[in-house]
Each structure stands twice: as C-alpha cells, then as structure tokens.
C-alpha cells in the first residue's frame, strides 16, 4: 500500500496529547508463575507514576477492586472501574482508538482476540473489554473479524504503520493474505503505508513477534529497532535482519526516517524460560514524558540515553525485571487514549 493512498481516519501517534491511560489490574498468578507477589506492588507504583501526568483508568472487577484501591492508596487522578479481565495485557485486547479526519471525532476498533493464537484460555473477559470501554466512553465501536493484538501494530500518526507476519499466523487468521490484512487495516485505521517487518522476534516472546518489542516510532523522522550485540543469542541474526530491512525502507518513505539500533540485553532465563527484554517496549505519556524499561542490564543506560536524545524527552527508567517474567513490559500492559481534538 503506497503513501499516496488517502484516508478519512487515522490513529494518533503516542507522542501526541493523550486523554488518559488504561491499565488492567494484575490478578492472574499463572502469568508470573512463582513470582506474582511483587507484581501488584509494581503496578501500584507504576500507576502512581503515570497519574502524575495523566488520568489513569484501572480495570478491576469488584472481587479485586478492594485490593487494587488499597494498593493504590489515595492518589489523585486514578479511577478504578468495575470491568473484569482474564489478564493484564490491555494493549493487546484493548481497542485501537481512531480519529475521524474531518471532525476529529473518536471511535474504537474492536479486533477479534484469541489470546495470542489460543495459547492462554480462557480469554472471554478480555475479549469483552472493548465493548465495555466504548459504553463508558459513549463512542462508536466497529468490530472486525481480523484477529489482531494491539502490540502488533505501530503507528506514526500520518498513516505509516509497522507490523509483522504474526497477523498472518494460522493460529490467528488462517488462510488470510497480506493484501487482505492490509486492506482491513486501511479500512479501519486509515493506514496508507504498511511495512511488514520480516526478520523475526525475541527469544521467549509468546506473541509470535509483536512489533512493540521490535521497532517503534519515536517521532515522524526516527524509528528505534531492537538489535542484539550478543552473538550467542538465538534471536541476534533475525533482529539484525529487521534493522537492515527498516534501514532500506527508511530512504524510500516520506519523510525519510532515521533508523537507530536499540541493543537488547543478553537473553535472561527464569526457571529455564527465556524472558523477552526490549527497550522498544517504552511507554509515551503524550509529548512531555516517556517511561523506558530497565532490566538490570549493562544496556539499560545506553537505551535510556538514546531514547532521550532522539525524542528530546528525558526517558525515565522503570525497573521491569519482575514484570518481564510475564513476557511483556510497559507498553504491553497499558493502552493510551488520545486526546480528542473535536471535544
């Protein structure tokens, strides 16, 4: 799909002004086997950090709301909502927020969701979250049969979109073609230039290669790409291929992109399981704040410094060593809602 295609809608970039941040309170012990005890405290501290800049809407069903409220304390700017979930990864089962190009009105896209290809049943509560969010916001919702998680798509706000072949996986969209996926993405999000990043994902990643662990726009002229300087690690060659592909694309798009390497830590094992660790899983809180994961690794400081330099915003480090055992990080566990210029 070429950049000359026009669209009547768009997905805002995450560095644009935001209305609020959605977080789902953690409660599924199976997500962090043997390591759950530190997770509610992590979420409470993280939510309070976000609430310094943005309202936070926390999904916590009635049976866990008391614990959630106790952990969060009396912090202002936080609203606990009685919406049940199966798991905390709201980026993936939450909606894609879309802005109408004419009147700037907001709507939601509710993609089909099956817990990363049916890996983690049950997922019925997570699949129902989008409709409940739309009801609370009183905005239109459009359902799609395309099976897609929010961490699989990355937008720059002008119609450019990065994704990976995880959308073509048989456990999500059997028999579908790249063209068919591209057409649905254009129809519902206004994407006009779609780049399929083909090199592969991180060792230990259970999403089949979500883009938010591999490559992220920092602004409309810069993209960071997860690479590895650890030759012994199994994903090093594939990550290098991702970088080279995006480097080749960067000179063909408009505006031209600068592509930056963001080296990942060496693979870390917990109970014999590789844990995906990528600084690409940073979280923007609109134009003025940026949270970047840290993993207690030598690469932590370089990553924070590079993202700060490129973005012009000081990257605040958040220790994600415990969170990453759930196989995700800051971006995976949040869903930003753009400010609606039409209101």
pLDDT at 3 (0 to 100): 45
pLDDT at 197 (0 to 100): 98
Q: Which CATH number is 212's domain given?
A: 3.75.10.10
pLDDT at 339 (0 to 100): 95
Beta carbons of 196 and 165 less than 8 angstroms apart = yes
Tokens of 31: 């997500």
pLDDT along the chain (343 residues), means of 10: 66 98 98 96 98 98 92 93 98 97 94 98 98 97 98 98 98 98 97 97 97 98 98 98 98 97 97 96 98 98 98 98 97 96 67
Residue 2: inside a domain: no
Could you give the CA distance from residue 293 to residue 283 in angstroms, rounded to a whole number?
Answer: 9
Could you give the CA distance from residue 34 to residue 222 in angstroms, rounded to a whole number?
Answer: 39
- Domain membership of residue 64 as a residue range: 9-338
Strand boundaries in 165-289, DSSP class E: 193-196, 215-219, 222-228, 258-264, 268-270, 273-275, 283-284
Residue 343: inside a domain: no
Residue 78: inside a domain: yes
Could you give the CA distance from residue 162 to residue 149 in angstroms, rounded to a whole number?
Answer: 13
Beta carbons of 185 and 199 less than 8 angstroms apart = no
pLDDT at 230 (0 to 100): 98
Residue 140: inside a domain: yes
- pTM score of the predicted model: 0.96
Residue 31: inside a domain: yes
Instruction: Please state whether 31 falls in left (phi above 0), alpha (psi between -120 and 50) or beta.
Output: alpha
pLDDT at 2 (0 to 100): 46
What is residue 130's three-state secondary structure? Answer: helix
Residue 309: inside a domain: yes
Q: Give how many domains the chain has, as a whole number.
A: 1
Could you give the CA distance from residue 199 to residue 271 in angstroms, rounded to a whole number?
Answer: 27
Could you give the CA distance from residue 75 to residue 69 in angstroms, rounded to a whole number?
Answer: 10
pLDDT at 74 (0 to 100): 86
Residue 193: inside a domain: yes
Residue 211: inside a domain: yes
């Amino acid at each position: 799909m070429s950049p000359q295609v026009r669209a009547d809608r768009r997905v805002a970039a995450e560095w644009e002004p935001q209305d609020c941040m959605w977080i789902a309170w953690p409660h599924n012990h199976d997500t962090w086997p043997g390591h759950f005890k530190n997770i509610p405290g992590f979420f409470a501290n993280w939510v309070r950090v976000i609430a310094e800049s943005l309202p936070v809407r926390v999904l916590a069903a009635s049976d866990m709301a008391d614990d959630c409220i106790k952990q969060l304390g009396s912090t202002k700017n936080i609203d606990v909502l009685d919406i049940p979930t199966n798991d905390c990864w709201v980026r993936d089962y939450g909606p894609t927020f879309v802005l109408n190009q004419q009147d700037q009105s907001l709507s939601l896209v509710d993609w089909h969701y099956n817990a990363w290809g049916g890996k983690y049943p049950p997922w019925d509560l997570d699949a129902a979250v989008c409709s409940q969010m739309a009801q609370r916001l009183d905005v239109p919702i459009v359902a799609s049969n395309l099976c897609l998680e929010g961490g699989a798509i990355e937008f720059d706000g002008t119609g450019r979109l990065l994704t990976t072949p995880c959308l073509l996986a048989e456990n999500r969209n059997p028999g579908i073609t790249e063209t068919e996926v591209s057409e649905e993405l254009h129809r519902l999000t206004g994407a006009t230039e779609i780049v399929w990043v083909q090199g592969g994902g991180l060792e230990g990643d259970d999403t089949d290669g979500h883009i938010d662990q591999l490559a992220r726009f920092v602004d409309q002229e810069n993209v960071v790409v997860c690479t590895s300087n650890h030759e012994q690690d199994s994903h090093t060659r594939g990550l290098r291929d991702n970088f080279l592909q995006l480097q080749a694309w960067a000179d063909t798009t408009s505006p031209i992109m600068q592509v930056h390497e963001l080296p990942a830590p060496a693979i870390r094992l917990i109970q014999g399981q590789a844990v995906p660790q990528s600084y690409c899983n940073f979280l923007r809180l609109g134009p003025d704040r940026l949270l970047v994961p840290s993993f207690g690794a030598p690469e932590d400081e370089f990553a924070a410094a590079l993202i700060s330099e490129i973005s012009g915003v000081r990257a605040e480090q958040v220790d994600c060593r415990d969170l990453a055992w759930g196989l995700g990080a800051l971006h995976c566990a949040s869903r930003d809602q753009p400010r609606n210029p039409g209101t």
